[in-house]
């Protein structure tokens, strides 16, 4: 072999040239694979052809946000809903009548409500064109503003934020329509003496994200939201105490597992809204390594924002930031690497795929509110897929196996299709969509006839075996057990109770699937 390598003549030189050409080609291909703009085809522009089933499902899903509205209803199209909670906040001289009830009860919990607003804002910012293409953008913006109006009023001074309206113990002892409520609805606030870092930070995130949504629609309202967001972030960052430490009784309801993720989440949204370098430094150099758990995939939810932050900040690394330092860029690269690790855990053919799935293919993590994790994971997957497609990033690697943006989109579609009826129960888990869906949703207002005057004692309607007299259109129920089964029983709140925050994430997922379209490199 050694002698042949140095043989003189044309044949030898030809072999050398061919080998050299192959080496050059391999290098070029390798360089292209590392580039964010290596391209696998043209980047789509405006929304393309609509996929009707997702458009129909989006229209249905958005209606649940209307069902959950409190206060003096405007242009109300939910015939069995009326005005409610009109005196909320009056004990403190505030108007807290708006906002949304979090689930099948009549509580206003500020933590999940703010998360609902943040995710709804994110969905509009990324997929507003798609929503507009199927005439759902106005509905999404209306629902968002109904929450942000409440959040503005709930923040009457820099270091005071009202985080709850109603007493959950009293509320849960009643089964009644919200229009009939006569019980006391006490207020709960965080302040300098009793802080609540994660609630303040999540509310800051919601207001910062919403400020971007309303920037071109109502600039003064956008500015007001951003002012509140900045003050709330400062309050959250200066008083690092969990709200369930300040108020231990709330551990029974929305118990927080920590506030570091909300601080990063809020700072990320504030950077997108302001382009102020202090926020970028906060999330990359100052706190990224200690707060973000780089390299460790997590599940996105009302309680844990880490994976959402990883994906949100990936767009900065993918599309570039003009004024970032080398240290900040390194931090952004770590966020993107973690985002890719999250994606690798979702794809069923990945070497690092999670095994937590039903036989029907649904991501399944918890028997309570089982659908929250697959919906949220799919939302992140379709976002990351569109970041790749817009930037012409051809693939990413999962322990040596490469996957494309279309693989991520296919995964997200598989989860959405399961929810919409392609499952062993052959039932849609989105109420009002398809021919078969849950009839006994755990929802007070939906379960009681409009003309029934029950007062607090309407439990006969909780125990009834009849379908709900009012259809809670758009409600995403808790979902199936690990064996893909579902028990349609109103008292089975583990499976049959819908939540507003799950609906917001579902709106984002469906909006991303309605049609293909490039995402904007920057929200500003």
Tell me which residues are annotated as active site.
442
Distance, CA of 240 to CA of 427 (rounded, Å):
45
State the angle between helix axes of 110-133 and 137-153 in degrees (0 to 180), rounded to the nearest 10.
160
Helix (H) or strand (E) holding 164: strand 161-165
Torsion on CA atoms 289, 294, 295, 297, rounded to nearest 10: 150
Angle subtended at Cα 228 by Cα 264 and Cα 143, rounded to the nearest 5 degrees? 90
CB 259 within 8 A of CB 236: yes
Look up residue 478 and give its two tokens: 């808790």
Tokens (6 digits) for 269: 């949204």
DSSP character string of 313-329 = HHHHHHH--TT--HHHH
Sign of CA dihedral 479, 484, 490, 493: negative
Burial 177-205 (b: 16+ CB within 10 A, else e): bbebbebebebbbbbeeebbbbbbbbbbb
Residue reference for tokens 């499952």: 423
> What is the rounded CA–CA span in Å between residue 173 and residue 184?
13
DSSP conformational letter for 519 = P
Backbone phi, then psi, for 346, in 5-degree steps?
-90, -40
Which token pair is 15? 């072999």
Residue tagged 């006839």 (tokens)? 449
Phi, psi of 388 (to 5 degrees): -65, -45
Structure tokens at 420: 């919409």
Q: How many CB atoms lie within 10 A of CB 355?
A: 5
Q: Answer yes or no: are the C-beta atoms of 381 and 408 closer than 8 Å.
A: yes
First to last CA, the chain: 62
> What is the C-alpha separation between 59 and 31, in angstroms, rounded?
44
Contact status, residue 108 vs residue 71, Cβ threshold 8 Å: no
């Amino acid at each position: 072999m050694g002698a042949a390598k140095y043989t003189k003549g044309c044949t030898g030189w030809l072999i050398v040239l061919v080998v050299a050409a192959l080496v050059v080609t391999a290098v070029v291909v390798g360089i292209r694979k590392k580039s964010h703009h290596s391209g696998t085809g043209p980047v789509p522009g405006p929304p393309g052809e609509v996929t009707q089933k997702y458009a129909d499902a989006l229209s249905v899903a958005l209606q649940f946000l209307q069902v959950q509205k409190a206060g003096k209803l405007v242009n109300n199209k939910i015939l069995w809903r009326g005005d409610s909670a009109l005196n909320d906040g009056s004990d403190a001289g505030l108007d807290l009548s708006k906002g949304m009830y979090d689930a099948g009860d009549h509580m206003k919990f500020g933590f999940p409500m703010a998360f609902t607003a943040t995710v709804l804002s994110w969905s509009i910012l990324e997929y507003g064109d798609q929503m507009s293409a199927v005439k759902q953008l106005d509905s999404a913006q209306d629902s968002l503003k109904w929450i942000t109006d409440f959040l503005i009023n709930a923040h009457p001074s820099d270091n005071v934020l009202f985080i709850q309206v109603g007493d959950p113990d009293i509320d849960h002892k009643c089964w009644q329509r919200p229009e009939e409520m006569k019980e006391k609805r006490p207020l709960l606030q965080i302040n300098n003496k009793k802080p609540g870092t994660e609630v303040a930070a999540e509310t800051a995130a919601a207001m910062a994200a919403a400020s971007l949504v309303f920037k071109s629609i109502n600039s003064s309202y956008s500015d007001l939201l951003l002012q509140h967001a900045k003050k709330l972030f400062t309050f959250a960052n200066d008083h690092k105490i969990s709200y369930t430490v300040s108020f231990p009784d709330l551990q029974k309801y929305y118990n927080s597992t920590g506030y570091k993720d909300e601080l990063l989440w809020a700072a990320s949204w504030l950077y997108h809204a302001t382009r102020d370098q202090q926020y970028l430094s906060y999330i990359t150099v100052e706190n990224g390594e200690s707060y973000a758990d780089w390299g460790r995939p997590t599940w996105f939810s009302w309680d844990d924002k880490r994976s959402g932050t990883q994906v949100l900040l990936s767009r900065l690394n993918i599309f570039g930031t003009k004024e970032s330092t080398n240290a900040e860029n390194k931090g952004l690269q770590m966020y993107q690497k973690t985002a890719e690790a999250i994606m690798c855990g979702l794809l069923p053919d990945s070497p690092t795929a999670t095994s937590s799935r039903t036989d029907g293919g649904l991501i399944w993590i918890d028997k309570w509110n089982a659908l929250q994790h697959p919906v949220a994971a799919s939302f992140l997957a379709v976002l990351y897929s569109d970041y790749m497609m817009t930037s012409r990033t051809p693939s990413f690697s999962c322990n040596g196996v490469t996957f494309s943006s279309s693989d991520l989109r296919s995964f997200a579609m598989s989860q959405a299709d399961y929810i919409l009826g392609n499952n062993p129960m052959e039932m849609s888990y989105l109420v009002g969509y398809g021919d078969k869906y849950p009839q006994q949703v755990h929802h007070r207002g939906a379960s009681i006839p409009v003309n029934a005057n029950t007062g607090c004692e309407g439990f006969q309607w909780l125990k009834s075996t009849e379908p709900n007299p009012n259809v809670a259109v758009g409600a995403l129920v808790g979902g199936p057990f690990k064996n893909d089964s579902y028990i349609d029983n109103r008292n089975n709140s583990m499976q049959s109770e819908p939540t507003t925050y799950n609906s917001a994430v579902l709106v984002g997922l469906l909006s991303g699937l309605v049609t293909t379209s490039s995402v904007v490199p920057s929200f500003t």
